[in-house]
Amino acid sequence: PDEAATWQAGDTQFVATAEFAMVTLNDTGIPRACMVNGTQLHCGDFALSTPPSPAGKVLSVDHEHNSITIEGELGQPGAFADRIIILGNELQQTSYTIKAGTVAGGDTTLDFGDTLFLLQMGYVEATDNDNSTVTLAKLGRVDGRQHQGRWLYNEDKSVGFRIATCSGSTFRLEGVEEDLDEIFADLDDDGRRLYWVSDIGPGDTYRIPTVTYVERQGPHLYRVRSMTNAELVIPLAEVIVDEPWR
C-alpha cells in the first residue's frame, strides 16, 4: 500500500500505510499494536515505521531441493521462516510457506521444505516450432487445466518456458528460440518424453508481506517483534527489539 489511511477519534489521530493495522487503546495508553505489509502506523504520540515488504524477481528454481533463489538479500532470513511468500506474474499468482532462508552473494535462497511446486507430469505428444506449442498427454485436471502463467519444463527440468495460453492439452510457450523437439527429448531413452508443470519459474515476481508487532511489557517498556528493521518512537519509552522474529 502506498496511500495512508487516516481516522480521527476525538483528539487522537490514527494514520496507517499498510494492508492491515491494529492499535489497542485503554486508559493507560497503547498496550499493543500490529502492522501487516505496511510502512507506517501512527496513533497520537505512538509512531511505528518499517521498510517496505521485500519484493523483486525470482532468479532461479531448484526443483530437486524445493527451493528458489530471489534477487536481493533478506536482512534477517531466519525471521521469514513460516511466513508466506506471494509469487507470480501478470497471468497467475500463487503463494507458499517459507521454511528456511540463506543469504549468499547478494541473493537469498528460500527453502519450502517438503512442499513441491511441481504440479503435474506426463508425456509430450507433439511439438510445433512455428507456433511455439507443445501438445501434452496425461494432462490432469488440476485447476481445470488452466496453467497460463505457469512453467512447462522438459524431462530433466533443465529448460523451462512460461505458458502463455492453454487450448485443451496444447500449450503455447513464451520465449522459444530453439528446436522444441530437441528440448523436449527422450533423455533417458525409455520411449517417453516427459514434461513437468511448475508453479514457479525464473523471472516471476515475489513479495513477502512483513508483520511487525509491538507489545507493552511494563510502564514505559515496549517489546518489538519485526521481520525487518523497525523504528518505534514513544515519548519516555524504552524499546526491546527481538531479532529475528520466529
Tell whether the model's pLDDT for residue 240 goes beyond 50.
yes
List of residues 6+ apart from 243 with CB closer than 8 A: 76, 79, 226
CB atoms within 10 A of CB 27: 4
Look at residue 243 in the predicted model and tell me its pLDDT: 54
Q: What is the pLDDT of residues 213-231, one digit of tens each?
A: 999 998 888 999 999 989 9
Q: What is the pLDDT of residues 29-74, one digit of tens each?
A: 899 999 999 999 999 889 999 999 999 999 999 999 999 999 999 8
The model's pTM is: 0.86
Look at residue 139 in the predicted model and tell me its pLDDT: 76
CA 140 to chain centre: 26
Residue at 138: amino acid letter? K
Bigger pLDDT: 241 vs 64: 64
Look at residue 77 in the predicted model and tell me its pLDDT: 84
Task: Outline where 39-117 has alpha helix (H).
Answer: none
Residue at 109: amino acid letter? T
Bigger pLDDT: 237 vs 100: 100
Look at residue 76 in the predicted model and tell me its pLDDT: 83
Q: Which residue reads 489511511 in cell numbers?
A: 5
CA 111 to chain centre: 12
User: Among the listed ranges 74-78, 86-90, 114-118, 200-204, which one has the minimum average pLDDT value?
Assistant: 74-78
C-beta of residue 206 within 8 angstroms of C-beta of residue 87: yes
Residue at 2: amino acid letter? D
Q: Which residue reads 512483513 in cell numbers?
A: 210
Indicate left, alpha or beta for 20 from its phi (over 0: left) and psi (-120 to 50: alpha): beta
C-beta of residue 120 within 8 angstroms of C-beta of residue 136: no
Provide the pLDDT confidence category of residue 144 given band limits of 50, 70 and 90.
low
Supply the DSSP symbol for 56.
E
